[in-house]
Structure 1
Amino acid sequence: MIDVRHADLAGRSVFITGGGSGIGAALTEAFISQGSRVAFVQRSDANAFCDSVEQRHGVRPLFLPCDITDRSALQAAISAAAEAHGPVGVLINNAANDQRHRTEELDEAGWNASMAVNLTAYFFAIQAVVGPMRAAGGGSIINFSSISYIMGNAGYPAYVTANAGITGMTRALAREFGPDRIRVNALAPGWVLTERQRRLWASPEDLEAHLAKQCLKEHLSQEDICGGALFLASNASRMMTGQVLVIDGGVVVTG
């Protein structure tokens, strides 16, 4: 658990997509531990997760079942979160689907489905929060990308394309909403070994090959991403916008 305290996050209304599993679950718990009022959406049932968070922290996150590709349902969930916790001050677009696929095998429906969950939903979640954020005097939007597009990874071209689009959208909206004191940043994790990643793709050979690319020779867990998200959400990063924060153990380096 993150042991750094961000006093300004206490009482903040935080909305997370995909906040009941994987990286999203770690984010939900990290913000709860800061005293934030957290609401999250996802398609699968997250009540057991909410029970466990309540047992550990004495506070229950607000779970709103939702398919984020349904724009009306997503924006209605954001409205419900604002009604319960106050206007959303921190939006975290985290939900994504990195299903592997080959270019020759992907039809138009598959392409559109990937864009819907990995890019389009981000835009419409942002659209729903910027008005209330502007009225409140500002806010923080964090769009989860990944290092997949920086590396030019093969094996999931629609997902990689969407992640590149997330960066472009982040920079464009940072410029658009900066005068309203709304900060828009992206967070790009490396290979985080969630339960899903371990179950589907983390073969011993691939794990060894990826670790060889990292400067830090330890695999990433979902908790390793939380500190960066808390930083981007808090006043500690108050003059940071339009940026991509990479947390990957040193796979992608610049110089």
Structure 2
Amino acid sequence: MAVTLPSYPSLEDQVVFINGGSSGIGAEMVRAFAGQGAKVGFWGRDRGAAESLIDTLHEVPRRPSFFACGVTDVTALQETLGECSKTLGDIGVLVNSVGNDDRHDIETVDVDYFDWMSNINLRPHVFAIQQVIPGMRRLGGGSIINLGSIAPLRKNEGAIVYTALKAAIHGMTRGMARRLGPDRIRVNTLVPGWTMTDKQRRLWLDEAGEKAMDESLCLPGRVHPEDIAAAALFLASDQSRMMTAQDLIVDGGWT
């Protein structure tokens, strides 16, 4: 069943930056915010996928802007955010969607692997937030949405480093919400369940996974990227203006 997205007038003409948006959940975020009439900027590793995404958006009021950037290069990321602000205006909504849920055995993890995972799943979020704070202050407020995970809630043994870094996202959200609240900058964690992206279906979904969801979800069906994007629109809009330091879980009732 397709998700029908509501219209949020407060998002029209809002500058939105998707930190990781060329595929998966991030791509659906780009699609959803563009459909609201927002000025959307995003980066991703795959320029071809990003351009293909933009080419499918025929009926949006304005085409999103893609910025080439490497996620592990903090300087490049902050320069990209600065370029987006110069091109589109001060960023009022930041969606930290970038991540990699690589499976691993904790007994084989080394320092290089740990650093690589941290540089994808935590560091970009911190420094992207740091970069957008001055602009949000000039705007008189803003919304920062960090994508978490239900992994820390489920005792996930197959991706312990990823799970630990996602747990850190939840803590960062709460600290940032307290620090930035006086500036009317809201910070929340959007927590997807197992979301049926192309990557998940290709790499991780198997018969055992299907059985686990059938047994564990309260609702029939599966969580799709559109379900996560719908929640992000709400968190970005004025309809959630008194909501901060919260976890919004969209997992079909798994946790």
- What is the match of residue 40 of structure 2? 38
Matches within 5 A, 1:160-179: 160-179=163-182
Q: Give 2:220's match in structure 1, choosing from 213, 217, 231.
A: 217
Q: CA deviation at 1:152?
A: 1.7
Cα separation, 2, equivalents of 1:34 and 1:59:
10
Q: Which runs of 5+ in 1 are unaligned?
A: none
Question: Hey, what's the Cα distance between the residues in 2 that align with 1:108 and 1:31?
Answer: 38
CA RMSD of aligned residues (A): 1.0
Question: 1:129-182 CA deviation, whole Å, 9 max, x = no partner?
Answer: 011111211100000001001112111111100110000000000000000000
Check the 8 A contact 1:2/1:30 in 2, yes or no. no
DSSP 3-state at the match of 1:20: coil
* Residue 77 in structure 1 maps to residue 80 in structure 2: yes
| Mean CA deviation greater in 180-189 or 148-157 | 148-157
Superposed counterparts of 1:138-149, under 5 Å: 138-149=141-152
Distance 2:178 2:61 in 1: 39
Say which of 7, 14, 17 aligns to 2:16.
14
Does structure 1 conserve the Cα–Cα contact (< 8 Å) formed by 2:19 and 2:97?
yes
Residues 190-235 of structure 1 deviation map (CA, whole Å, 9 limit, x = unaligned): 0001000000010122112123111002111111111110010001
Calculate the TM-score normalised by the size of structure 1. Answer: 0.96
How far, CA to CA, are the matches of 2:186 and 2:154 in structure 1? 26
Please name the residue that 1:47 is paired with: 51
Q: What's the secondary structure of 1:245's corresponding residue?
A: strand
Alignment check: 8 A CA contact 1:93 1:143 kept: yes
Matches within 5 A, 1:56-75: 56-57=59-60, 59-75=62-78
Alignment partner, residue 235 of structure 2: 232
Tell me what 2:209 maps to: 206
Matched-pair contact (CA < 8 Å) for 2:15–2:90:
yes
For 2:168 and 2:67, how far apart are their aligned partners in 1? 27
User: Does the CA-based 8 Å contact 1:211-1:219 persist in structure 2?
Assistant: no
Q: Percent identity?
A: 43
The question of whether the paired residues in 1 share the 8 Å contact of 2:22 and 2:45 is answered with: no
Runs of 4+ residues over 4 Å off in structure 1: none
Structure 1 residues 101 and 72, CA gap change in structure 2 (3 angstroms):
same
Cα distance in 2 for residues equivalent to 1:206 and 1:49 = 29
* 1:191 matched residue in structure 2: 194
| 1: CA distance, partners of 2:60 / 2:35 | 7
8 A contact 1:2–1:226 mirrored in 2: no
- Is 2:237 aligned against 1:245? no
